[in-house]
Amino acid sequence: MDPKRKLKGMLARIFSDGEVSDEERDELKSYLAPGAFMMPSDVRDVLADFVATTWKITIADGVVSDAEKRRLRTIVAELEIDRALLPPEWQALVE
């Protein structure tokens, strides 16, 4: 399987419930380790796509629930995403 595609699926699965188990965290860290499977630029591309898709899904109904806010905060914390890469509305929710 293409490494980018695998990472996209992994991110969707891991963050689907808004909580990250120790096993999921370890799986993600090992996959994202420098030189493990993907070039840093490819990881950035996948994360940018994941952020955009996640935000579209979150705001689809026009309301960001408390559970969705927690999920967004978890994503930023677990992936250590630079807040500058987030949509402004998402930035405001995690600050």
Confidence at residue 70, expressed as pLDDT on a 0 to 100 scale: 94
- In whole angstroms, give the CA distance from residue 8 to residue 43: 10
The CA-CA-CA angle for residues 93, 74, 20, to 5°, reads: 165
Residue 38 pLDDT level (bands cut at 50, 70, 90): confident
DSSP 8-state assignment for residue 65: -
Under 8 Å between Cβ of 9 and 23: no
Task: Give per-residue pLDDT as tens, 42-63.
Answer: 999 999 999 999 999 999 999 9
Under 8 Å between Cβ of 68 and 58: yes
CB-count burial class (<10 Å; 0-12, 13-18, 19+) for 40: exposed
The answer to whether the predicted template modeling score (pTM) of the entire model surpasses 0.75 is yes
Supply 57's token pair.
Answer: 């899904």
Confidence at residue 19, expressed as pLDDT on a 0 to 100 scale: 92
Q: What is the mean pLDDT of residues 24-53?
A: 89
Cα 12 to its chain centre, rounded Å, is: 8
Q: What is the mean pLDDT of residues 5-21?
A: 94
